Amino acid sequence: MPHLVMEYTGNLSIDVQPTLLKLNQALVASGHFEENAIKARAVRLQNYLVGTDTQAQRGFVALRLAILTGRSLEDKKQISDLLGAAMRQDLALPADTQVQITVEVADMQRESYYKVSLP
């Protein structure tokens, strides 16, 4: 915990490893998570559609962070803002493409979450 998933449309060129590192660093900087507890991954989407205008050049980056229950709405908003700002930083976007960046912070039930760290 936490689990961070970055989905992005295939028309965007994102250097994934440095981007994930930047996002993980933002999570550590928030003061809410231990560095070695963060699990981040990226999924490049080949099949997607934004809206109904099939001629428009559009794309998106959707970040979803799943965290254990117990944090306040204010804490979640701070984390969401940090991730959004980190995602926007140094993001090279095609000039002719409208890109939406979204961040969702979702609760995982603490009582049913299982984790073990093996050697």
pLDDT tens across 57-98, in order? 999 999 999 999 999 999 999 999 999 999 999 788 888 999
CA distances for 51 relative to 2, 48, 66, 100, 102, angstroms: 30, 10, 26, 12, 15
- Identity at 90, one-letter amino acid code: D
Count: domains in the chain: 1
Within a domain: residue 117?
Answer: no
Within a domain: residue 34?
Answer: yes
Within a domain: residue 98?
Answer: yes
Within a domain: residue 15?
Answer: yes
- Amino acid 94: pLDDT: 86
Average pLDDT over residues 38-45: 98
- Average pLDDT score over the chain: 95
Range of the domain at 58: 3-112
Burial string for 57-75 (b: 16+ CB within 10 Å, else e) reads ebbbbbbebbbeeeeeeee
Within a domain: residue 119?
Answer: no
**CATH for 86:** 3.30.429.10
- Amino acid 76: pLDDT: 97
Share above pLDDT 70 across residues of the chain, in percent, rounded to a whole number:
100
Within a domain: residue 118?
Answer: no
